[in-house]
Amino acid sequence: MEVRVQNVRKEFDRFQALHDVSLDIRSGELIALLGPSGSGKTTLLRLIAGLETPTAGKVFFGDTDASEKTVQERNIGFVFQHYALFRHMTILENISFGLKVRPRSSRPPAGEIRRRAMELLDLVQLSGLEKRYPNQLSGGQRQRVALARALAIEPAVLLLDEPFGALDAQVRRELRKWLREIHDRTGHTTVFVTHDQEEALELSDRLCVMSQGKIEQVGTPDSVYDHPTSPFVFGFIGESSELPVTVENNELWVGGRAIGIPAGDAQPGEARLFFRPHDIELVEADASLAGVVSTSRRVGGTRRVELEIGGGGHHVEVDLPFDHPAGEKTRLAFRPRRWKLFPAK
């Protein structure tokens, strides 16, 4: 099922949560809505679900205008962060619930409901636990039950609102891989809200990066990570370092000296240089960026050092081999392998 959000605006008591947002979601894809708290991603998800009504604009399911349709009419499967399972029901009863409460005209026979629920238990790898209650399961198992319950109604669109947010890091990693496998097997159109960039990069077919109620960029994980179109996206997706520079004579300058980086088609004047801490090479001091180590710490298999550049109070972070001998006050020269230049603020 294709979903099209067209020029949607949403206000809450004069607060504008979404500003003229448009997004095309392809049938069968898993798209992540990614952004910090307050970016509008959950509001957009709730508008797609029918839990909120747009102040302006429309939401289409296929060619049908769903803007005034209820959640039930849209046939939405919803998975929340905190499971929302019925504690007094067994796992089998939880999964069957959405089918049992359908109007009689569209309700499957009891035997068919049980068969479908048992199939879903097997799909989410919880066979044999159908008689247990939610408080007898781990957090990861409960979230699997919540997904099975959402799938039981054969939804047109599956919506997940930070479904792994309440789980510890190891369980989150396991469930991310599992959810991707489930999606590939079932082929549901899935919209996934998260503030966790690693989660979004690993899981999604496409990312929709949001900030302050607007969409900043939409694209594949690789395209958004490698070719961010704004300073916000560069800073939010992955780790980054930023440095104010001057464009002069088709080169970049810092502290009155050229740093060996061409300016491309950038206009002369002030600009902002962005690069990834891991994406640098150490070089000789001539025509390069150089700084003095102010702090150093181990990060996995690398050493992350903070450099003070040019004595002007500007700091950047770069990654070195974990056994690099650089310590405080060591002077290092480096050059980004890849970088992005944006206009000054």
Tell me the three state secondary structure of residue 290. strand
pLDDT < 50 stretches in the chain? none
Cα–Cα distance, 11 to 50 (Å, whole number): 15
Q: Write the pLDDT tens digit of every residue in 230-239.
A: 999 999 998 8
Give this prediction's pTM: 0.86
| Predicted pLDDT at 311 | 63
Q: Give kind and range of the element (H or E) at residue 90.
A: none
* CA-closest candidate to residue 157, choices 184, 182, 205, 191: 191
Q: Which amino acid is at 23?
A: L
Give the distance, in angstroms, between the CA of residue 275 and the centroid of all CA atoms in the same chain.
Answer: 20
Strand-pair partners of 331: 292
Q: Which amino acid is at 291?
A: G
| Predicted pLDDT at 83 | 58
The CA dihedral of 219, 221, 222, 228, to the nearest 10 degrees, is 60
Q: Which amino acid is at 298?
A: R
Tell me the three state secondary structure of residue 259. strand
* CA-closest candidate to residue 342, choices 272, 237, 287: 272
* CA-closest candidate to residue 32, choices 17, 42, 20, 21: 42
| Predicted pLDDT at 312 | 65
> Sign of the CA dihedral 310, 313, 319, 325?
positive
Determine contact, residues 71/50, Cβ cutoff 8 Å: yes
| Predicted pLDDT at 342 | 92
Determine contact, residues 41/216, Cβ cutoff 8 Å: no
Q: Where are the alpha helices (DSSP H) in the chain?
A: 41-49, 71-74, 91-100, 110-123, 139-152, 169-186, 197-203, 221-226, 231-236
Cα–Cα distance, 141 to 147 (Å, whole number): 10
Cα–Cα distance, 134 to 8 (Å, whole number): 38
Full DSSP string of 280-308: EEE--STTSEEEEEEEEEEETTEEEEEEE
* CA-closest candidate to residue 335, choices 254, 256, 227: 254
Give the distance, in angstroms, between the CA of residue 225 and the centroid of all CA atoms in the same chain.
Answer: 12
